[in-house]
Amino acid sequence: MSDSVTDTISTMLAPILADLKLELYDLDFNGGILKVTLDTPAGQPAGVDIDQIALVTRLLGRELDHNEDAVPGRFTLEVTSPGLERVLRTPHHFNREVGKDVTIRFTSEFNGRRRLAGLLVAATDTTASVRVADTAETIEFPLSIVDKAKTVFVWESQPKPNSKEALAKRAASDKNASMHQQEASTQ
């Protein structure tokens, strides 16, 4: 995407996102698709919802209709959230996702590895460090050799509703609730 298009779209988005308390996670124009990826500020308990995506789509679409020269040629506007497993393309993405599990693929072999999976423990504007899952070794690498990178969402299994584990959890929860009620009634 050319810098002038990036700057124009970013400028159009800035007041919209500020009003909605959202952030621009990524902006890409490739193959006739203008993809705008939105996120909530780091540390928020919830992500972007479908209503916010729809609103930004309408508001940005209206701005683009009024400024036909903003994006050259025909294009499709796609507004989305980064999702649970986020693509890491920029130093900002790596910095934002420190503390999360990631997978990395390098453009060529680095320290005997072509791929890396583990916990992203640090990131700067030029490097990142991952604690490798299978060895607990920490590997620092330059961001310039990253071919693809993304966060990995770890699905936690839930016990079956009537399993021993679920019944034990429920009993412990009920016991704690009962204790809190007794404490409240004695005060």
103 and 76 share one domain: no
Q: Is residue 180 part of a domain?
A: no
In a shared domain, residues 55 and 114: no
What local confidence, expressed as pLDDT, does residue 159 receive?
A: 67
Mean pLDDT, consecutive 10-residue stretches, the chain (187 aa), reads 75 94 90 90 83 95 87 88 90 92 94 92 96 89 96 78 74 64 58
Q: Are residues 128 and 75 in the same domain?
A: no
Contact 57, 64 (CB under 8 A): no
Contacts of 73 (CB under 8 A, 6+ apart): 32
Q: Quote the CA–CA distance of 81 and 121 in Å, as a whole number.
A: 24
* C-alpha separations of 182 from 153, 174, 185 in Å: 40, 12, 5
Overall residue count recorded for the chain in this entry: 187
Print the domain residue range for 22.
Answer: 3-80
Residues 10 and 75 in one domain: yes
The pLDDT of residue 1:
45
**CB of 48 closer than 8 Å to CB of 16:** no
89: phi then psi, degrees, rounded to nearest 5? -115, -30
- Whether 146 maps to a domain, the answer reads yes
pTM tops 0.85, yes or no? no
pLDDT at res. 153: 87
CATH number of the domain at 114, please. 2.30.30.180
Residues 125, 105, single domain; the answer is yes
In a 10 Å sphere around its CB, with 0-12 CB exposed, 13-18 middle and 19+ buried, how is residue 112 labelled?
exposed
